[in-house]
């Protein structure tokens, strides 16, 4: 048989085969799941961190400069995510996705977003300007967070596969990253905000860290944004 016939058989099997699904308590690795219709369900909070206008960066500047900006941003994101107990599930160009689980998953992810904002403002931009004093480029970013039940399956082919994360949180966290608005770089859904510990809602001076907004593109869904920053520790 040719490739088209093989694909026809494989797709028919995917749609026909029953699913074997188990509840999970830890973030799975690809090896924990079979390539067939096998999945893990767990409650998770998804964080997406994304650079702004990376297309303009690669169109305007030399590749090595763009790569340094990517590396600086993603290194800070990854170190902060892991320090806050998150698991990195994907890198995609200038973006990183992470999942947090457990009773404090929403607070950890929200603090992570504010700490990434600190890293951008107080570390990445100053160090870039010190190294390249004549550049006019100013990196910007967005971090977004949502929480829901996640359905995790293994996709791809033998020796070349990964996990797919299916659920509202995975989708909405990615979409929220497009809602950039000046200094407001951190975005969370109402579900995340409602589960936050108080120290992730209100600053030491008693001021609220988050401002309620309406996501008109998602049927006027309630969301929150923040311009606050939090020094990583």
pLDDT digits (tens, 9 = 90+) for 99-112: 999 999 999 999 99
Q: How far apart are CA 5 and CA 191, in angstroms?
A: 45
Q: How far apart are CA 175 and CA 216, in angstroms?
A: 12
Strand partners, 88: 98
Determine the pLDDT at residue 143.
97
Instruction: Give the N- to C-terminal CA distance of the chain in Å, as an integer.
Output: 58
Structure tokens at 145: 């967070």
In the chain, where do the E strands start and end? 20-23, 38-51, 87-92, 95-100, 141-157, 160-166, 186-189, 211-215, 221-226
Q: Pick the closest to residue 40 from 149, 145, 173, 148 (CA basis).
A: 149
Determine the pLDDT at residue 180.
78
Residue 18: DSSP 8-state: P
Residue 184: DSSP 8-state: B
Domain parsing of the chain, residue ranges: 19-27+37-226
Strand partners, 224: 188, 212
Phi, psi of 146 (to 5 degrees): -145, 165
Structure tokens at 213: 């907004």
Determine the pLDDT at residue 53.
84
Residues 17-45 pLDDT 10s? 999 999 999 999 999 999 999 999 999 99
- Per-residue pLDDT 10s for the chain (233 aa) are 699 999 999 999 999 999 999 999 999 999 999 999 999 999 999 999 999 888 889 888 999 999 999 999 999 999 999 999 999 999 988 999 999 999 999 999 999 999 999 999 999 999 999 999 999 999 999 999 999 999 999 998 888 889 999 999 999 999 998 887 888 999 999 999 999 999 999 988 889 999 999 999 888 999 999 999 999 98
Residues 54-79 pLDDT 10s? 888 988 899 999 999 999 999 999 99
**Do the Cβ atoms of 210 and 226 come closer than 8 Å?**
yes
CA distances from 27 to 11, 50, 81, 156 (A): 27, 22, 14, 19
User: pTM, whole model, 2 decimals?
Assistant: 0.94
Angle at the Cα of 172 from the Cα atoms of 47 and 17, rounded to 5 degrees: 100
Please, what is the angle between helix 105-118 and helix 63-83, to 10°?
A: 140
Secondary structure (3-state) at 193: helix
Q: Which fold has domain 19-27+37-226?
A: Alpha-Beta Plaits (3.30.70)
Phi-psi region of 81 (alpha: psi -120 to 50; beta: other; left: phi over 0): alpha
């Amino acid at each position: 048989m040719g490739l088209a016939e093989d694909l026809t058989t494989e797709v028919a099997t995917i749609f026909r085969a029953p699913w074997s699904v188990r509840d999970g308590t830890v973030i799975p690795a690809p090896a924990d799941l079979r390539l067939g219709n096998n999945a893990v369900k767990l409650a998770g909070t998804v964080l997406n961190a994304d650079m702004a206008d990376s297309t303009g960066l690669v169109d305007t500047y030399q590749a090595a400069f763009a790569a340094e900006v990517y590396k600086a941003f993603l290194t800070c994101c990854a170190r902060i995510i892991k320090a806050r107990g998150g698991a990195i599930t994907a890198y995609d160009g200038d973006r990183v996705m992470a999942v947090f689980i457990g009773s404090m998953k929403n607070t950890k992810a929200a603090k992570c977003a504010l700490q990434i904002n600190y890293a951008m403002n107080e570390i990445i931009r100053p160090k870039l300007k010190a190294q390249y004093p004549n550049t006019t480029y100013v990196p910007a970013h967005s971090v977004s967070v949502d929480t829901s039940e996640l359905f995790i399956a293994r996709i791809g082919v033998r020796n070349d596969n990964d996990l797919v994360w299916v659920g509202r949180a995975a989708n909405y966290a990615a979409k929220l990253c497009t809602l950039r608005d000046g200094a407001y770089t951190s975005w969370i859904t109402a579900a995340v905000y409602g589960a936050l510990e108080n120290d992730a809602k209100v600053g030491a001076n008693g001021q609220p860290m988050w401002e309620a907004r309406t996501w008109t593109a998602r049927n006027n869904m309630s969301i929150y944004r923040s311009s606050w920053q939090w020094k990583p520790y």
